Amino acid sequence: MSEMQQPASVNAGQVAIGLGALGVAVVLAVGAWQIPSASGYAGVGPDFLPWVMGAAMAVCGGLLLWQALHGGWRDVEPPSGAERGDWRALAWVAGGVVANAALITTIGFVLSCTLCYALAVRGLRLSEGRAAGGARTTVIDAVTGVLISAPVFWVFTKVLAVNLPGISAGGWI
């Protein structure tokens, strides 16, 4: 009698990630389906790229799920970093993103992105085990945030004619 092979153990986390990727593919497909498909330039409509991305995500999710169910992901390196997540650092980064979303129409693109940058950099420093920084570091982070976000604002609003919320009536900040 031949010995029966034991099925390989299934990693629930890997299965969940594969299913999550397939879920994102479904959301992309639903979004693409709701976009009018009238052909534009070269016969490609505005729904083309969302359909391509949804299909690519479905393929990736399907491959991830297949591998998870057939012995696990291949050639996975052990994770680097700390054993546990740094919730304090995550709170700073998430706070920056939420503040940006909440304040962008109130204080404008440049200032809200500067705030997001300053809070996120503080969180990233904490995640590396470094000091978050004092007043001098905060000022440097704010200046750096302005130096990054102001040119982006100007390129999008003045060159590309994309409307971004500004704080001044003239639209230069």
Say how many CA atoms lie within 13 Å of 18 toward its Cβ: 18
As a whole number of angstroms, the distance between CA 55 and CA 32 comes to 11
Residue 47's CB is within 10 A of a number of other CB atoms, namely: 18
pLDDT tens for residues 48-72?
A: 888 999 999 999 999 999 999 998 8
Q: Give residue 8's pLDDT.
A: 61
Break the chain into its structural domains and give their ranges.
12-69, 87-159
Express each pLDDT in 23-38 by its tens digit: 999 999 999 888 877 7
Q: What is residue 43's DSSP assignment? A: G
Give phi and psi for 58, each to the nearest 5: -65, -40
Flag whether the pTM goes above 0.85: no
Q: Residue 88's CB: how many other CB atoms inside 10 A?
A: 11
Distance of CA 51 to the CA centre of its chain: 19
Is pLDDT at 43 greater than 70 in this prediction?
no
CA 149 to chain centre: 18
Is pLDDT above 80 for 4?
no
